């Protein structure tokens, strides 16, 4: 019989014998040693937080645990017995469920079909869709989202709703250990609270949770113990989540002392110049209405608001990826045709979308082609592309942004999230755009890469680029932007210099929503 120890977070006692032990795990890919002797142990009923910079080995480790990768060396023990997780089915049979950051849903199927994919509800060989719909609805209600219809096509849902479907699929199994990779990245505050409630319910039932997040404040709220990876190795394990300082965690992750420091705010160089970007009375039916703003050369404008408030749709409409119902967009005095991305790019507008893998990158193409994608005309010679010139230009951008590794022939899918984001930014640096739209620029990006991206955004603004930033993290908006628009329910409910706002005031305005539209906040009075 195993003994128990107190939960570091003050919850139920945890068994001293780990449910899962991974010892000396090694995984080699061509030219890359992704894991170099990683150790991890997880107890039943605990939330074990797995931390590390992008490229530290977290994703590879959880794929080994999920049976998607086979380790080249090391041992995995389950309830004290050696096991081989030969494929995902074997891992699932053990009760191991994984929710990946990049969701693996099938867009053409319904919500219920995705929840029970491969485990369809049937009787005597005949599927029972009504039973599947009912069970899926119960799981989604448990997650706080009864409004997600089990019969809806999953591809039509928002990113946050799709995340909930993926969680429902994990919970539909007889799960004993669940891995959550950046589960809160696309969720708003209320949805994160629901997520944490579900996590606590699971651990109270003895389910173990491996929780991965770059939001370090979440770790103290939901975690019991911490393991930190760096360069494919375990640099610390078993740290108490609530007693380990952010500074200590960051030092372990980076090997150096680093803080969340935003570039110093200064008077942007074009504050008296004519606006580069002018948006007037822009509306998109069912998404947002009567949005107006202007951005001058060197200005960073932040859009703050909850997931689903219309922020991303505003950027996509300005870029031409969505066709506006009414209103106009002008760049350096040139009026853009609605719904015309080519015209926007030609006018000097660039977009780094929220879903970089599905919307911003050609994952099977090399890094250099992803960087030069918006500038191919300059590399054309007699109707043919000059690959050498492409690669040289891409290499210069990669080196300037400290892309790792700087092998521009490498497929972009092999890069970490932070380096993939740098590739998207490099594309628009090469294009020399005058307006840059950034949607969640640090989503899924580690603390070290965040600081680099913050500095890059400020450097672009110093060059005279007009920047519009959307972020779900209010401190990020306030730290980066010169001016802020607060968006709620598809309307701009406040606008003010960033220095006159704080996180609590922004949240108040967001929650007031449409009520603020008719008040002084619409005119900029947010005192």
330-368 residue pLDDT tens = 999 999 999 999 999 999 999 999 888 888 899 899 999
Q: CB atoms < 10 A from the CB of 527, how many?
A: 8
- Euclidean distance between CA atoms 162 and 155, whole angstroms: 8
Q: CB atoms < 10 A from the CB of 381, how many?
A: 8
| Predicted pLDDT of residue 525 | 43
CATH 3.40.190.10 fits 4-95+177-254, yes or no: no
Give the ranges where 205-310 is alpha helix by DSSP (H).
Answer: 216-222, 246-254
Asked if residue 115 lies in contact with residue 57, where contact means CB atoms within 8 angstroms, the answer is no
| Predicted pLDDT of residue 451 | 81
Q: Would you tell me the crossing angle of helices 417-431 and 447-462 to the nearest 10 degrees?
A: 10
pLDDT (mean) for 193-207: 87
Task: Name the residue with tokens 């992008």.
Answer: 54
Q: How many CA atoms lie within 13 A of 507 on its CB side?
A: 10
- Euclidean distance between CA atoms 406 and 400, whole angstroms: 10
Q: Domain ranges in the chain?
A: 4-95+177-254, 107-158+167-173, 277-361+433-523
- Euclidean distance between CA atoms 326 and 199, whole angstroms: 44
Q: Looking at the predicted structure, is the pLDDT value of residue 517 above 70?
A: no
pLDDT (mean) for 485-491: 89
Task: Kindly report the pTM of this predicted structure.
Answer: 0.60
pLDDT (mean) for 206-235: 90
- Euclidean distance between CA atoms 115 and 139, whole angstroms: 9
Please indicate whether residue 384 or residue 223 has the higher confidence score (pLDDT). 223
For 52-100, list the strands marked E by DSSP. 73-78, 81-83, 96-99
Beta-ladder partners of 178: 97, 209
For residue 265, what is the DSSP state?
P
> Which stretch of 64-68, 493-497, 516-520 has the lowest confidence by average pLDDT?
516-520
DSSP β-ladder status, 126-127 and 122-123: antiparallel
DSSP letter string, 140-178: HHHTT-TTS-TTSBGGGS-HHHHHHHHHHHHHTS--SEE
Q: Which of 219, 48, 183 is nearest to 103 (CA)?
A: 183
| Predicted pLDDT of residue 10 | 45
Q: Looking at the predicted structure, is the pLDDT value of residue 270 above 50?
A: yes
pLDDT (mean) for 9-17: 55
pLDDT tens, residue by residue, 24-72 = 999 988 767 889 999 999 999 999 999 987 678 898 999 999 999 999 9
Asked if residue 2 lies in contact with residue 16, where contact means CB atoms within 8 angstroms, the answer is yes
- Which CATH code of 3.50.50.60, 1.10.10.60, 3.40.50.300, 3.30.70.20 fits the domain covering 277-361+433-523? 3.40.50.300
DSSP β-ladder status, 20-29 and 32-42: antiparallel
- Euclidean distance between CA atoms 506 and 509, whole angstroms: 5
Residue 45, sorted as left (phi over 0), alpha (psi -120 to 50) or beta, turns out to be: left
Do domains 4-95+177-254 and 277-361+433-523 share one topology? The answer is: yes
């Amino acid at each position: 019989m195993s003994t128990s120890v107190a939960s570091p977070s003050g919850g139920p006692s945890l068994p001293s014998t780990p449910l899962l032990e991974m010892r000396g795990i090694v995984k080699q890919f061509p030219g890359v040693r992704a894991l170099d002797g990683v150790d991890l142990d997880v107890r039943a009923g605990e939330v074990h937080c797995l931390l590390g910079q992008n490229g530290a080995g977290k994703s590879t480790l959880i794929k080994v645990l999920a049976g998607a990768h086979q380790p080249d060396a090391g041992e995995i023990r389950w309830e004290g017995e050696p096991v081989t997780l030969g494929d995902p089915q074997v891992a699932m049979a053990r009760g191991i469920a994984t929710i990946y950051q990049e969701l693996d849903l099938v867009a053409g199927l319904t919500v219920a079909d995705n929840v029970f994919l491969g485990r369809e509800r049937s009787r005597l060989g005949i599927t029972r869709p009504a039973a599947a719909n009912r069970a899926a609805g119960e799981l989604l209600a448990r997650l706080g989202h009864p409004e997600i219809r089990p019969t809806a096509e999953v591809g039509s849902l928002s990113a946050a709703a799709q995340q909930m479907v993926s969680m429902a699929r994990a919970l539909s199994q007889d799960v004993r250990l669940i891995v959550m990779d950046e589960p809160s990245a696309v969720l708003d505050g209320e949805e994160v609270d629901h997520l944490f409630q579900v996590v606590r319910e699971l651990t109270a039932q003895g389910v173990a949770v491996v929780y991965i997040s770059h939001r370090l404040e979440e770790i103290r709220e939901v975690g019991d113990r911490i393991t930190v990876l760096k360069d494919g190795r375990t640099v610390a394990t078993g740290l108490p989540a609530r007693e380990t300082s952010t500074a200590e965690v960051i030092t372990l992750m980076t090997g150096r002392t680093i803080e969340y420091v935003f570039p110093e705010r200064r008077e942007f160089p074009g504050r008296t110049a004519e606006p580069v970007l002018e948006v007037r009375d822009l509306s998109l039916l069912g998404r947002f209405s009567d949005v107006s703003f202007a951005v001058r050369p060197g200005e960073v404008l932040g859009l703050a608001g909850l997931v689903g408030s219309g922020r991303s749709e505003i950027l996509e409409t300005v870029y031409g990826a969505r066709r506006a119902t009414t209103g106009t967009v002008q760049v350096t005095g040139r009026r853009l045709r609605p719904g015309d991305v080519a015209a926007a790019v030609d006018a000097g507008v660039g977009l780094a979308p929220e879903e970089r893998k599905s919307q911003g990158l050609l994952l099977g193409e090399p890094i250099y082609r992803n960087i030069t994608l918006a500038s191919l005309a300059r590399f054309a010679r007699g109707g043919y592309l000059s690959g050498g010139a492409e690669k040289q230009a891409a290499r210069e951008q990669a080196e300037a942004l400290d892309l790792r590794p700087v092998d521009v022939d490498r497929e972009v899918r092999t890069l970490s999230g932070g380096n993939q984001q740098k590739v998207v930014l490099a594309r628009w640096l090469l294009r020399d755009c005058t307006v840059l739209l950034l949607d969640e620029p640090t989503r899924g990006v580690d603390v070290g890469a965040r600081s680099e991206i913050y500095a890059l955004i400020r450097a672009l603004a110093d060059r005279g680029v007009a920047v519009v930033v959307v972020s779900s993290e209010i401190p990020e908006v306030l730290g980066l932007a010169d001016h802020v628009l607060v968006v709620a329910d598809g309307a701009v409910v406040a606008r003010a210099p960033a220095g006159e706002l704080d996180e609590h005031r922004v949240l108040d305005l967001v929650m007031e929503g449409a009520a603020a539209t008719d008040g002084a906040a619409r005119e900029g009075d947010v005192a």
